Amino acid sequence: MSDTQLTVTLSGGDADDARAVVGALEGTFGPPQERPSDTDATVRMATFGGEGEGTGAADDGRRPLSEPVTVTVQGTPEAVRRASDALSRSFTARDEGAAAGDQEQERQLVLES
């Protein structure tokens, strides 16, 4: 697994909220390999691969979240740290805990505008 591979799972909010969260991560990780669906799903997912780096700038087109969104980021410790930092810069983030394995880490955040 590369240092930038990251899986993001989102619950709460709507498809626009999911796009806002993914947009906040694109500045760090580049465009996702998989974007959240536009359906009426209750859980959405995005996957960022290890091919490219982002520009470092957050998505200027993001909007406030309609409601709190629970986000779980999973990947290498470095990718999870970078994702947590990027989300904390873009939203009010409450850390709900982390779990670490040998080579992967998982962190859950609750995001609000």
In tens, the pLDDT along 46-57 reads 999 865 465 555
Is the confidence at residue 4, as pLDDT, over 50?
Answer: yes
The rounded distance, in Å, linking the Cα atoms of 110 and 69 is 6
Is the confidence at residue 67, as pLDDT, over 90?
Answer: yes
In tens, the pLDDT along 102-111 reads 889 999 999 9
Average pLDDT score over residue span 89-93: 95
Q: What is the mean pLDDT of the chain?
A: 87
DSSP string, 34-63: B---SSS-SEEEEEE-SS----SPPPTT--
**Lowest mean per-residue pLDDT among 46-50, 68-72, 80-84, 103-107:** 46-50
pLDDT at site 102: 83
H/E stretch holding 108 = strand 105-112
Average pLDDT score over residue span 54-77: 78
